[in-house]
Chain A
Amino acid sequence: MGLLSDPNRRRALIGLLTRLNAPIWGMPVDWLVKTMQSRGLEVFTQRFSRRLPFPDEDKERYMVKGTNVYGILRAPRAPRTEALVLSAPCTAGDHNNQAVGLLLGLAQYFRNQVYWAKDIIFLVNEHDLIGMQAWLEGYHHTNTTGMDWSPLQGRGGSIQAALSLELSSDVVTSLDLVLEGLNGQLPNLDLANLFYAFCQKIGVLCTTQGKLQRNDWDSVSGYSHAVQTMMLMAMKQASGRPWGDHGLFLRYHIEAATIKGINSFRQYKTDATTVGRLLEGMYRKLNNLLERLHQSYFFYLMSSLSHFVSIGYYMPAFGLLGVILLLRALDLWVQLASPPPRTEDGVVDADPGVLSVLTPLVISHLTGAALYTLPIHFQEMAVEHFPVSETEAVVLTAIAVYTAGLALPHNTNRLLTGQGTEQGWKVLKLVAVLYLAVLLGCTALINFSLGFILALTLVPVAAFVTPNVPKVLSAFVLVVLSPACTLLFSVFFFQELQEMPVSFLDGWMLYLSVISQGILDHALYGSLVYPLVALLVYPCWLLFWNILFWK
């Protein structure tokens, strides 16, 4: 490999890159254009800008402006109908300063080969996911998130597969594969298998979720290690955010993954040339493909790079949880169908009017709508009145609305009919249980981990809550198992699984940033977790809260 085989040239290139990559100016667009052109690629740039709904911690400003640079290596003899993408996000600082160098080295090497049947697009995007979203929207002529970008001047064919590189040092001890994408979508398992096959062939240590693979599957510790890896993947999938630049490709039915180079304390280190050979091998294999990857699973949970659990195995577990809800609904239906018991003085309970059931529904959903819209709309007012930054204002408003919702239905029910009827709460619970079952079922189909985690926490409370259980204890349990607290515990558990446990205060700050990131992801990329929780899951949970305080 020409460029990177000589360590002196490699160091010169990296030094040049770091010098030009000064934080003030962001990405060295002109230098990149010139370098890519000198390697024989067709180079184009794209400018984009985006107004964030509120400034997050990284950017600390409302407007994000940037430029993407991409060079297309045309296949020498093929028609320009298909393309592959190799991307490296270019961020200021040390986070990812080697990936662009490796990308340029690979571009030069690939240019000299005659066997490419697809165009290869080498993309350097600015501002990580925002730049990638702008490029993808420009490439596919869609505009789903309201971003402002200049149209792309040059195009390849339809993209078959994409890889994103994250390298922060020129020697790595292991390569980590990141698969989870937006809304918990995963690439075809064949892409992971391809990566693993080449890792074994070239002899590079490869991991997933940052955890090494163990060989003792039968022992308890080996099994628990595998379970931990799988739980990490489930939690990352449930968060609904793309965990690498590749996550945004999946929406366009393009199989994509991110390869991260990790440099830890290990004796055996792999240099960039070997990583380049691995990538070259992967791209040759992808080049030989005649169709999109579709033979292997799209829904799976990996407990290591060589073991996985497919949808056929994990869906029945969710199905059993759903059956609990359906059985409870059946039970309630039978109870409602049987005639009401006469009281001693012959007064029969009045039929519960539609109003008494409809009211909690409407109020819960209005609260949910408030949770969805108020935080962003009232951030200016909040900033005026309280000494907090915009991000904190948004998050704290969300938490405030959430907590206020706990009080609201509790009072309106008393207001409306005085005392709730026996039949009333049963009808409401029937509706709520069925609503929860359908909601969790649909969620599990789209994002299994999210659906499963919500089911684990919500199904027990949904099943047992009635007005007759001890109030204080059940209220406590209900709050602890509500979506917000589930998220809080998940944050701590996630840190625990990654072997980086945090103190309570750090965990709380992390929790706040997770909420703000969720809101931001929804605004920027169309992540569905925040609207789902705010508009559907939270009202559903409020219905159960309402049932608990029916009398």
Chain B
Amino acid sequence: MKILGLLSLLATHLSANSVNIEENAGQFFSSGHTNNWAVLVCTSRFWFNYRHVANTLSVYRSVKRLGIPDSHIVLMLADDMACNHRNPKPATVFSHKNMELNVYGDDVEVDYRGYEVTVENFLRVLTGRLPPSTPRSKRLLSDDRSNILIYLTGHGGNGFLKFQDSEEISNVELADAFQQMWQKRRYNELLFIIDTCQGASMYERFYSPNLMALASSQVGEDSLSHQPDLAIGVHLMDRYTFYLLEFLEDIHPASKSNMNDLFKVCPKSQCVSTPGHRTDLFLRDPGSALITDFFGSVRKVEITMETVNLTDPIEQVEQNFVNEDLQKESYSYVDQLPVSEIIHQFPPLDVTG
């Protein structure tokens, strides 16, 4: 009797688990993406815009911690705060006062730095229209199964974002860039976060599918900074990104928090401005989109117990032990640069064997 009870308990448990596995398996492939990219841009220069660099670096840290590697992150910082002459702690960028958290660290890889952060370069990165000489680290090599996170911070206004104190990108340009990306199949789903004054105006003009957008303030509102550090003498972070960072600290690669939790980050009581979001272009339900779909690089792993028969396309080379005098071809490297030709103006030598 007892054994029967135990067996039935085991059976129900197994069946329950199998239902869970099916659910999990279903959820595994619900998002449809296979790789993750992140484009993190800070558009302001000058020492008093320290907080924008700290914003971008803290999102960079979170994104790296959740699994996106440097090769899949395009980090654009318009000014160098860590080595600024006014920085009392050189080679550091702090995000919390009393110097609790150094977001610069040893392993930051900035892809676009200083004056390279321009509207033109940003749009070229997004659309992929870069000159052939551009190195891989500066390219957004996404495909139609990539989920891309785009984070912008700096000074903005109604319908524009200021780059480097000298030029602006408008919301129309940005919407058109995303449409180009959609037509070139450069993304599967795209999450756009912007932390500037009147940030909601930047996503008003989007019209491409599979875009979700978050902004730190509505049109007509200013995004405020969080806290100054009295030793460094500047404000360290903006409020929205500060609370976003706090929220992301609780996310780990296996967490199941979804976008609805992200929308609740930094309510008006904490942020003073009203954060906004836009999901009408997003084809899935935001509640089913996980945070790690965009912020992390969660590899889908399917464990299977069955053996798979591979048809053997490789032909085995027959080892001829009998024939000892097998001609062994010797290989040598070709000259990288025909030095002798260049220096001595000799005609090229015949290079054979």
Contacts and interface: CB of A to CB of B under 8 A. Distances in A.
A287 interface: yes
Contacts of A290: 46-48
Nearest to B83: A77
Interface in A104-126: 113-117
Interface residues of B, number: 12
Q: Is the interface of B mostly helix, strand, loop or mixed?
A: loop
Contacts of A284: 233
Contact of A77 (B48, B85, B233): B85
A113 B88 CA distance: 8
A198 B86 CA distance: 20
Given A284-B233, A288-B233, A115 B88 contact: yes
A77 B90 contact: yes
A272 interface: no
A229 B101 CA distance: 50
A119 to B, nearest CB: 11
A78 interface: yes
Contacts of A288: 47-48, 86, 233-234
Nearest to A291: B46
A106 B204 CA distance: 54
B248 to A, nearest CB: 31
**Interface hub of A76, A113, A114, A284 (most chain B Cβ within 10 A):** A114
Nearest to B234: A288
B88 A117 contact: no
A495 B233 CA distance: 44
B170 interface: no
A275 interface: no
Nearest to B86: A117
B258 interface: no
A302 to B, nearest CB: 27
Contacts of A115: 85-88
B80 to A, nearest CB: 12
Contacts of A116: 85
Contacts of A78: 85
A114 B233 contact: no
A117 B233 contact: no
Interface residues of A, number: 13
Nearest to A115: B88
A526 B97 CA distance: 51
B265 to A, nearest CB: 31
A284 B88 CA distance: 11
Nearest to B87: A115
Contacts of B234: 288
A75 B87 CA distance: 12
A190 to B, nearest CB: 15
B168 to A, nearest CB: 20
A117 B47 CA distance: 11
Interface string B70-89: 00000000000001111110
Nearest to B47: A288
B86 A287 contact: yes
Nearest to B231: A115
A321 to B, nearest CB: 44
Contacts of A113: 88
Interface in A123-138: none
Contacts of B86: 115, 117, 287-288
A75 B233 contact: no
Contacts of B233: 284, 288
Interface string A401-435: 00000000000000000000000000000000000
Contacts of A77: 83, 85, 90
Interface in B83-105: 83-88, 90
Contacts of A287: 86
Contacts of B83: 77
A124 B298 CA distance: 66
A114 B90 CA distance: 9
Interface string B179-192: 00000000000000
Interface in B34-92: 46-48, 83-88, 90
Nearest to A79: B85
A84 to B, nearest CB: 13
Contacts of B46: 290
Interface in A197-248: none
Nearest to B46: A290
Interface in A74-89: 75-78
A114 B88 contact: yes
A114 to B, nearest CB: 6
Given A77-B90, A284-B233, A117 B48 contact: no
Contacts of B84: 117
A287 B88 CA distance: 12
Interface in A451-506: none
Interface in A275-319: 284, 287-288, 290
Nearest to A287: B86
A113 B85 CA distance: 11
A292 to B, nearest CB: 15
A288 B234 CA distance: 10
**Interface hub of A76, A115, A117 (most chain B Cβ within 10 A):** A115
**Interface hub of B47, B84, B85, B88 (most chain A Cβ within 10 A):** B85
A217 to B, nearest CB: 31
A75 B48 contact: no
Interface in A243-262: none
Nearest to A114: B88
A78 B84 CA distance: 9
A344 B46 CA distance: 84
Nearest to A116: B85
**Interface hub of B47, B86, B233 (most chain A Cβ within 10 A):** B86
B261 to A, nearest CB: 39
A75 B85 contact: yes
A113 B89 CA distance: 10
Contacts of A76: 85
Nearest to B45: A290
Nearest to B232: A115
Contacts of B88: 113-115
Nearest to A117: B85
Contacts of A114: 88, 90
A474 B129 CA distance: 86
A117 B88 CA distance: 10
A117 B233 CA distance: 14
A76 B234 CA distance: 20
A71 B86 CA distance: 21
B326 to A, nearest CB: 65
Nearest to A77: B85
A290 B47 CA distance: 8
**Interface hub of B83, B233, B234 (most chain A Cβ within 10 A):** B233
A80 to B, nearest CB: 11
A127 B87 CA distance: 38
A96 B88 CA distance: 33
B102 to A, nearest CB: 16
B228 to A, nearest CB: 12
A306 B233 CA distance: 24
Interface in B224-281: 233-234
B52 to A, nearest CB: 15
Contacts of B90: 77, 114
B62 to A, nearest CB: 29
A76 to B, nearest CB: 8
A191 to B, nearest CB: 18
Interface string A139-158: 00000000000000000000
Given A288-B86, A288-B234, 10 more contacts: A77-B85, A78-B85, A114-B88, A115-B87, A115-B88, A117-B86, A284-B233, A287-B86, A288-B48, A290-B48
21 contacts: A77-B83, A77-B85, A77-B90, A113-B88, A114-B88, A114-B90, A115-B85, A115-B86, A115-B87, A116-B85, A117-B84, A117-B86, A284-B233, A287-B86, A288-B47, A288-B48, A288-B86, A288-B233, A288-B234, A290-B47, A290-B48
Interface of B: 46-48, 83-88, 90, 233-234
6 shortest interchain CB distances as A-B pairs: A117-B85, A78-B85, A115-B88, A117-B86, A77-B85, A115-B86
